[in-house]
Amino acid sequence: MSQLMIEARDVVRSFGQTPALRGATVAVEPGEILAIMGPSGSGKSTLLHCLAGILVPDSGEIHFDGRRVDTMDEAGRSTLRRDSFGFVFQFGQLVPELTAEENVALPLLLGGTRRDAALREARPWFGRLGIDGLERRRSGELSGGQAQRVALARGLVTSPKVLFADEPTGSLDSLTGEQVMDQLVVAAREHGTTVVLVTHEARVAAYADRHIMVRDGKVAALTPERVLS
Amino acid sequence: MSVPLTLLGLLEREPSHGYDLKRDYDTYFSRGRPLPFGQVYATLGRLARDGKVVISEVRPGVGPERKRYVITEAGATEFDAWLTEPIEAEPHLQSVLFSKVVLALMLGRPAHDYLDVQRGAHLERMRQLTEIRRSGGLVDALLADHGLFHLEADLRWIDTTTARLDALRAEVVKS
């Protein structure tokens, strides 16, 4: 059996007195596209942030590719996020002062790649995601769908092992959202990228290989075994 | 909507006379189309013939004899299998799903879990249709879209019902 890409066991995380996760357990296989679903306030985004090393759980364990994440210090988690993870959020969160290609190249620049080499790596992504010709535009000159594709390119440019996407189509109309999801799935499959996707939309979750449901800070099973046992 | 399975569910709650079964069926499940007495007794007769219910007592009276029906092990097994298995994920299932949810609440079963399992079955079907949509031509994509939109509507109903289970329990469970 292959080693899991991500494994979280009994993860607990509170914000002040408010518990967000109350013992969440989840496992993600290499190359899998997993959708985390749940109603607003269920803890699904907190779970994604814990899996990605953005938040540290109060208790429980998180493993990535055989390494323990929850006990790493901030510098270790920062390196992990930069070298092994990519991110796409609901609102692309592009840097407005930079051009689209500079935004895509940004993770490479932050990792120490020289500017011309970083831009050389960034440019092919515009063709792959159907946004060629937009390389020199700034985020204010892009439509929502174009900006989200640029954000997707930025999330994938370092060839991360895992792409974390938090409501990546939440700000788009349904047709544009589906085009972005389609490209996300194609790009992830081509590069063997594992994807952890948070969404409250069933149509977005339907692009995933598997889905889990977070309710009241715990992961609910969606298979009949638990009910039938 | 399966009348025999619904009657079995009501009998799982408590042994009942045909009249009581008709009253509860009409209250919760008939939606303005009352179950004829003839169908109630014909259904109970078939369930008795098939060993899924037995008659525990016959009380003679002024009118027709009043038989009290009790679910058997075989009947309970059949009902349990129906309740716990998700329905094949096709659109427009609300009436069957609604019956399952109400019966689960009446019997103190985990309605929450059944809805989760049904959500899983729906999402799996949506995943298949999304794959057809992505890999097929325009005609296939539009047909898949039709199914996806209807399944999505069912899922919204499942989510809404999940959020209101406590209120529904208070309404359908006798104190």
Q: What's residue B125's pLDDT?
A: 92
Q: Are B92 and B122 in contact (CB under 8 A)?
A: no
Report the pLDDT averaged over residues A125-136: 90
Report the pLDDT averaged over residues B34-57: 93
DSSP string, B99-159: HHHHHHHHTT--HHHHHHHHHHHHHHHHHHHHHHHHHS-HHHHHHHHHHHHHHHHHHHHHH
Q: What's residue A144's pLDDT?
A: 87
Number of domains in chain A: 1
| Segment B117-147, tens digit of pLDDT | 889 899 999 999 999 988 888 888 888 898 8
Of the partner residues A39, A185, A227, the one whose CB lies closest to the CB of residue B117: A227
Q: Is the minimum CB–CB distance between B130 and chain A shorter than 8 Å?
A: yes
| Segment A102-130, tens digit of pLDDT | 999 999 999 899 999 999 999 999 988 88
Distance from CA of A204 to the nearest CA of B (A): 9
Q: What's residue B128's pLDDT?
A: 92
Grouping H, G, I as helix, E, B as strand and the rest as coil, residue A84 is: helix
| Segment B83-100, tens digit of pLDDT | 888 877 766 656 788 889
Q: Any alpha helices (H) in B50-110, and if so which ranges?
A: 73-84, 94-106
DSSP string, A203-221: HHHTTSSEEEEEETTEEEP
User: Does residue A224 have a pLDDT over 50?
Assistant: no
Q: Are A20 and A46 in contact (CB under 8 A)?
A: yes
Pairing type for strands A162-166 and A85-88 reads: parallel
Report the pLDDT averaged over residues B59-63: 63
For chain B, the first-to-last Cα distance in angstroms comes to: 27
Judging contacts by C-beta atoms under 8 Å, the chain A residues touching residue B85 are 224
CA–CA distances in Å: residue A18 to residues A21, A37, A173, B39? 9, 20, 33, 54
Q: Across the interface, do A202 and B114 touch by the CB < 8 Å criterion? A: no
Of the partner residues B84, B122, B163, the one whose CB lies closest to the CB of residue A227: B84
| Segment B6-31, tens digit of pLDDT | 999 999 999 999 999 999 998 888 77
Q: Across the interface, do B148 and A221 touch by the CB < 8 Å criterion? A: no
Grouping H, G, I as helix, E, B as strand and the rest as coil, residue A153 is: helix
Q: Assess if residue A229 is contained within a domain.
A: no
Q: What's residue A228's pLDDT?
A: 39
The residue segments making up the domain with residue A144 are 6-220
For chain A, the first-to-last Cα distance in angstroms comes to: 25
Rounded CA-CA distance A53/B46 in Å is: 61
CATH value at residue A177 = 3.40.50.300
Most confident of A54-58, A142-146, A166-170, B33-37: A54-58
Q: Is the minimum CB–CB distance between A229 and chain B shorter than 8 Å?
A: no
Q: Across the interface, do B127 and A207 touch by the CB < 8 Å criterion? A: yes
Confidence band of A57 (pLDDT split at 50, 70, 90): very high
Judging contacts by C-beta atoms under 8 Å, the chain A residues touching residue B126 are 202-203, 205-206
Report the CATH architecture of B1-84.
Orthogonal Bundle (1.10)
Mutation site, A37, A212, A213, A227, interface B, largest B CB count within 10 A: A227
Of the partner residues B84, B117, B126, the one whose CB lies closest to the CB of residue A202: B126
Judging contacts by C-beta atoms under 8 Å, the chain A residues touching residue B142 are none
Rounded CA-CA distance A113/A109 in Å is: 5
Q: What is the dihedral of CA A7, A11, A15, A16, to 10 degrees?
A: -150
> Model's pTM, two decimal places?
0.78
User: Does residue B53 have a pLDDT over 80?
Assistant: yes
User: Does residue B175 have a pLDDT over 80?
Assistant: no
Q: Across the interface, do A224 and B84 touch by the CB < 8 Å criterion? A: yes
Grouping H, G, I as helix, E, B as strand and the rest as coil, residue B25 is: helix
Residue spans per domain, chain B: 1-84, 87-175
**What is the average pLDDT value for chain A, to the nearest integer?**
90
Q: Across the interface, do B123 and A185 touch by the CB < 8 Å criterion? A: no
Q: Assess if residue A116 is contained within a domain.
A: yes
Region of residue A192 (left: phi > 0; alpha: psi -120 to 50; beta: else): left
DSSP code of residue A42? S
